[in-house]
Amino acid sequence: MNIKKILYIVLGTIGLILGAIGAVLPLLPAFPFLLLATVCYAKSSERLHNWFINTKLYKNNLESYVQGNGMSWPVKFRVMGMITIVMSIGFIMMALKEITYGCIILFIVWIFHILYFSFRVKTT
């Protein structure tokens, strides 16, 4: 087996595990990790990719987005909420250390995430 395929499988499996944890825990976003798993499995093995796209985890969280149908409002709010919580932790930690430029950059990135999910990702 090719080393590149092995790395994609390992990275995809890590994404799958973190995505599964994120589907249960409110502080960890599932969406980006499951998207990572989808891409890595698609590049590593057709069999792994087919298995993953038939899982309930994929169907509940990514299928409509990957097919170009967008996301439902509850999923969008969940993703934006998790992004806000995670970025708030980083923002507070940088604010406590008085890292002004880091706070400004993180705030701008957060605004773009919110705008992207609000206006660029279609709503079903």
Residue-by-residue pLDDT tens, the chain, 124 positions: 689 999 999 999 998 998 888 777 766 777 788 888 988 988 998 898 899 889 888 887 778 888 888 888 887 888 788 788 878 988 898 899 888 888 898 898 889 888 888 888 888 8
Q: Where are the domains of the chain?
A: 1-69, 70-124
The pTM for the full model equals 0.56
Tens digits of residue pLDDT in 75-101:
788 878 878 887 898 889 889 988 888
DSSP codes of every residue in 24-67: HSTTS-SHHHHHHHHHHHHHH-HHHHHHHHTSHHHHHHTHHHHT
- Residue 99's alpha-carbon distances to 8, 56, 106, in angstroms, are 36, 42, 11
